[in-house]
Structure 1
Amino acid sequence: MAALVRHPHEVDEERVVLRTGFLGDVVLPRPAVRSTSPVVRTVPGRGPRPVPGEPGAVACSVESALNVAVHLDPPVLLDLGPAGPVEAATVYVSADSPHALAQALRRVVPPYRS
């Protein structure tokens, strides 16, 4: 868990980096991130991985517990290594403060693209 304290999720105008410590990061283009919502769920496994039974969903966590859904529009193609690519419309993540993540996304608005 220390890896997440030292390297927390990041939000800037261009990208959102969701960290899973030594298991890898999921990088999302900031303009594709539309909203977040609180969730309480588990997805077996660790690191970035597809969500079984939910096409278009990816879990990104060190453990199986997840508490935030990041909603993407348009969906983002994520390379999950051995699990293959997923056209993700939702990324489930674990955040120490779901409210702080949502605030950071509201505070950092992506530049307008024509």
Structure 2
Amino acid sequence: MKIEDIDIYNLPIWACAIVDEISEKCKKELKNSPEYSRILKESDELLFKYPFISALIDRDEIEEPMKLSVKKARALSRFLALDADREDYERIQLYLMGCRHTLEMLLLLEIL
């Protein structure tokens, strides 16, 4: 089996558990980052202050148009920017953890 033959959208239960565990380790390591913690804190504050943002991101059924004030539109814009930053941090951390795991495997296999 080649790595490109793995269907990431149809993983067995054990593989999903591994992905979940790695994701949790990633978030745990990122909590030591002051910048990542600041992003989470500010995002949580915006969600608490502006409940309509939660309705939008949770894909709640919206049945009528929303009228957003400039203040609310700025809050939504800020939240989306913070969320993109959070995802970037998580993506980079996962990449770095993968590099670390690869290096550990290479050392165990005595390839390096």
TM-score class normalised by the smaller sequence: under 0.3
The structure with more strand, counted as a fraction of residues? 1
The structure with more helix, counted as a fraction of residues? 2
With structure 2 as the length reference, what TM-score do the two structures score?
0.22
Structure 1 or 2, whichever has the larger Rg, is 2
Taking CA–CA contacts closer than 8 Å with sequence separation of 6 or more, which of the two structures ends up with the larger relative contact order? Answer: 2
With structure 1 as the length reference, what TM-score do the two structures score?
0.22
